[in-house]
């Protein structure tokens, strides 16, 4: 009955997300940025004022764009501080404010300037678009993906029931809120689809979590697989980066049948990337944002810093099918990021990195210690990651191979959380050495940002004898170039 309920629930998704037949109503529900593409992003201003007594650690999910524009995002906002910058968006993005132990999500839409005042009692959006952003901020408090790791361990049908119910409740609250506040139809349409995307994203990632937490092989119910496929083939791309996650999961899980897969571990980054490129190229040419969808994928691959054999050739081949203007913008991004990485890897200023490595952190079952003084071998590979990071889990078997192959190499895990309960399934399964497992509390994550350059995960740092920094933002363990670095230092 629970699976049947999901089938019936998914049968109404089309009515919730499809366009209307009436021309005027379609105009009202059409997103204002529907004509925007990857090559013509809209300048958008974001300003933030801290009028509270709190010191805020700042994190913006779109922050990779800022260095390209010559603007640096402040790591910390002291009481009374503010920031203002212009970024160019071709799809909605989220940014996150970390305030002590609170995490607050805000939306930013292409072409819709936003000004936020963070006050002592509540957060208020002010300015011409404040009414547009108000429902987006409210919806975040009803987010059906906030279930976190509590769903790991539930049987599949109970997981579906749980997340679907949260989604139903959130949509009902959105509709009541929109009716009470007289929201534009396009805002309601956008947020309703966003809630659906978030729920489907949980379904898409569920097999991967089960595979690596409990070694269980599961198959998604056909109704959910069909809906995921439909969403991946849509212009839901305009709703934000959530569509990109659904597309990646769909291409990998459904179309290469890796839901069983023991082969996920062995499958190379190049194979996964090629799978998704092939999937996008097979989308109908009538899909108006097909070129932008492919360009966004290539853009992500350029920016992620994960090197592997043949990467440049694969990117070049995918770019060949794009219009010249798209390829030109991607080449500009690639060139600028190469310059930034060269500057970072030059390590002229290591003071922030040394601060990170010399700060005492909590260890499992042992006294607190810092990351430098626990070193016992000539080479140390530090892994920075967090609970629920699927790529982090996927690389764990490769890390085990490195430990076995190189006896003079140690791997120290640094987790972005002191909520140890979240880690029990991982610790029970993999039994990492107690003295090589650290926890960084929420209020100190800024140390990782400043020391490593970002809070991306997983990130790797390799130190040699005498605490020599061999590489920061190192290649991932499944990248042959990391083995080459290790071998060169040990020979």
Inter-CA distances, 359 with 118, 354, 356, 440, Å: 30, 9, 6, 10
pLDDT in tens, the chain (491 residues): 444 344 434 444 444 444 444 555 445 678 899 999 999 999 998 888 888 888 877 665 554 454 444 455 676 788 899 888 788 888 888 777 666 556 677 788 999 999 888 877 656 666 678 888 888 877 766 555 554 555 656 676 777 777 778 778 888 888 888 888 888 889 888 888 888 887 777 777 666 666 655 555 566 677 777 888 888 888 877 887 778 878 887 887 655 544 443 344 445 677 778 888 988 998 998 888 999 999 988 988 887 766 666 788 888 889 999 999 999 999 888 887 776 666 555 544 567 787 888 888 887 767 788 888 888 899 999 998 876 676 777 788 888 899 899 999 999 888 876 666 666 666 666 666 666 788 887 667 777 777 877 767 788 999 888 888 888 878 888 888 888 889 888 87
Whole-model pTM: value is 0.69
Any bridge partners for residue 125, and if so which? Answer: 116
SS3 per residue for the chain: CHHHHHHHHHHCHHHHHCCCCCHHHHHHHCCCCCCCCCCCCEEEEEEEEECCCCCEEEECCCCCHHHHCCCCCCCEECCCCEEEEEEEECCCEEEEEEECCEEEEEEECCCCCEEEEECCCCEEEECCCHHHHHHHHHHHCCCCCCCHHHHCCCCHHHHHHHHHHHHHHHHHHHHHHHHHHCCCHHHHHHHHHHHHHHHHHHHHHHHHHHHHHHCCCCCCCHHHHHHHHHHHCCHHHHHCCHHHHHHHHHHHHHCCCHHHCCHHHHCCHHHHHHHHHHHHHCCCCCCCCHHHHHHHHHHHHHHCCCCCCCHHHHHHHHHCCCCHHHHHHHHHHHHHHHHHHHHHHHCCCCHHHHHHHHCCEEECCEEEECCCCCCCCCEEEEEEECCCCHHHHHCHHHHHHHHHHCCCEEEEEEECCCCHHHHHHHHHHHCCCHHHEEECCHHHHHHHHHHHCCCCCCEEEEECHHHCEEEECCCCCCCHHHHHHHHHHHC
Domains of the chain are 42-137 (2.60.40), 351-490 (3.40.30.10)
């Amino acid at each position: 009955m629970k699976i049947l309920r999901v089938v019936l629930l998914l049968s109404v998704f089309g009515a919730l997300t499809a366009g209307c037949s009436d021309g005027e109503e379609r105009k009202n529900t059409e997103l204002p940025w529907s004509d925007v593409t990857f090559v013509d992003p809209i300048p958008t201003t974001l300003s933030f004022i801290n009028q509270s007594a709190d010191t805020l650690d700042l994190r913006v999910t779109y922050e990779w764009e800022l260095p390209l524009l010559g603007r640096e995002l402040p790591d910390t906002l002291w009481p009374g501080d503010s920031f203002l910058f212009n970024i160019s968006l071709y799809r909605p993005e989220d940014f996150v404010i970390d305030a002590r132990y609170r995490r607050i999500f805000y939306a930013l839409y292409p072409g819709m300037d936003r000004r936020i005042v963070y006050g002592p009692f509540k957060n208020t959006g002010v300015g011409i678009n404040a009414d547009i952003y108000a429902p987006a901020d409210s919806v975040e408090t009803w987010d059906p993906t906030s279930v976190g790791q509590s769903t790991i361990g539930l049987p599949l049908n109970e997981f579906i029931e749980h997340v679907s119910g949260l989604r139903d409740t959130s949509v009902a609250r959105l509709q009541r809120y929109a009716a009470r506040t007289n929201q534009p139809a396009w805002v309601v349409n956008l947020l309703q689809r966003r809630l659906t995307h978030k729920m489907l994203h949980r379904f898409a990632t569920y097999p991967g979590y089960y595979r690596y937490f409990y070694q269980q092989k599961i198959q998604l119910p056909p109704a959910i697989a069909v809906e995921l496929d439909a969403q991946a083939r849509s212009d839901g791309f305009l709703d934000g980066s959530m569509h990109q996650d659904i597309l990646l999961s769909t291409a990998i899980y459904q179309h290469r049948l890796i839901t069983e897969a023991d082969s996920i571990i062995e499958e190379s980054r190049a194979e996964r990337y090629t799978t998704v490129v092939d999937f996008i190229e097979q989308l109908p040419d009538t899909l108006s944002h097909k070129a932008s969808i492919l360009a966004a994928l290539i853009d992500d691959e350029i920016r992620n810093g994960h090197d592997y054999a043949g990467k440049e050739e694969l990117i070049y081949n995918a770019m060949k099918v794009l219009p010249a203007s798209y390829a030109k913008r991607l080449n500009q991004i690639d060139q600028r990021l190469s310059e930034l990485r060269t500057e970072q890897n030059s390590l002229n200023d290591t003071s922030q990195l040394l601060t990170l490595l010399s700060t005492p952190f909590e260890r499992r079952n042992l006294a607190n210690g810092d990351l430098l003084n626990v070193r016992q071998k000539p080479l140390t590979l530090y892994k920075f990651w967090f609970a629920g990071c699927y790529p982090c889990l996927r690389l764990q078997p490769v890390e085990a191979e490195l430990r076995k192959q190189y006896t003079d190499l140690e791997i120290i895990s640094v987790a972005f959380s002191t909520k140890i309960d979240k880690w029990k399934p991982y610790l029970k399964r993999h039994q990492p050495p107690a003295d090589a497992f650290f926890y960084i509390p929420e209020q100190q994550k800024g140390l990782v940002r400043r020391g490593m350059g970002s809070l991306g995960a997983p990130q790797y740092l390799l130190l040699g004898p005498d605490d020599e920094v061999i590489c920061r933002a190192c290649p991932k363990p499944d990248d042959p170039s990391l083995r080459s670095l290790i071998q060169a230092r040990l020979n």
